[in-house]
Amino acid sequence: MLSIIDYDAGNTFNVIKAFKHLGIEVQLTDEPEKIMKSSGLILPGVGAFGPAMATLEKKGLIGVIKKAVLDNKIPLLGICLGMQLLFEKSSEYGSHEGLGLIPGEVGLIPEKGDLKVPQMGWNENQLKKNETDFAFIADEYTYFVHSYYAVCDKQYLISTVDYGVEIPAMVQNKNIFGTQFHPEKSGAVGLKILKTFSEKVVRQ
């Protein structure tokens, strides 16, 4: 069973709808016992970094998530804000600690030329890691809505997009994955990412 972590900051309706379209069973939960027994975890997210981390802490989920993915090796996929929360800290409206599951920091996208912040719309993925189940993302367009982006070492990059700066679009640290874009809003390639995560990563 895949569990979508419920912490009042996720685009859960559309994510659940996407998995149902694929015929993949998921549950929306904030119960530690269910999270720990999951075959895979989804951490969606929209909104601001600080309040999202505060809600995870209030619900007692920070330690649960870390134990699930670090000790029990349960695969996790963070989406949009959920991906940003995987990093060590963010400068969004102050300095906030993240989950620290991937080394790196989150900062504001710099405005350059005609490129406005937030980045809203489709952008082309450039593959950075050939040995991955997600190599099919090369040259594919996915849908972004965000003002902040992760800065991390290239070893964690699956794909990036160009938006005046190189923005990590999909990242991985062992069993921990993240997409800055919204796969549930990215058409066929987005659905393929969710299917690949659930069928190849989770079941390995």
Contact in structure between 198 and 179 (CB atoms under 8 Å): no
Backbone angles phi, psi at 69, to 5 degrees: -90, -30
* Residue 182: active-site member: yes
List the end-to-end C-alpha distance of the chain, in Å, as a whole number: 14
Q: Where are the alpha helices (DSSP H) in the chain?
A: 12-21, 32-36, 49-58, 62-66, 81-84, 187-196
Q: Which residues of 60-81 are buried (b: 16+ CB within 10 A; e: fewer)?
A: ebbebbeebbeeeebbbbbbbb
Nearest to 42 by CA among 97, 100, 81: 81
What are the tokens at 138?
Answer: 């090369």
Nearest to 46 by CA among 84, 17, 20: 84
Pairwise CA distance, residues 204 & 200, whole Å: 6
* Residue 184: active-site member: yes
What are the tokens at 96?
Answer: 């906030």
Which of these is catalytic: 92, 96, 146, 182?
182
Which of these is catalytic: 25, 80, 92, 166?
80
Which of these is catalytic: 96, 146, 152, 184?
184
Annotated active-site positions, please? 80, 182, 184
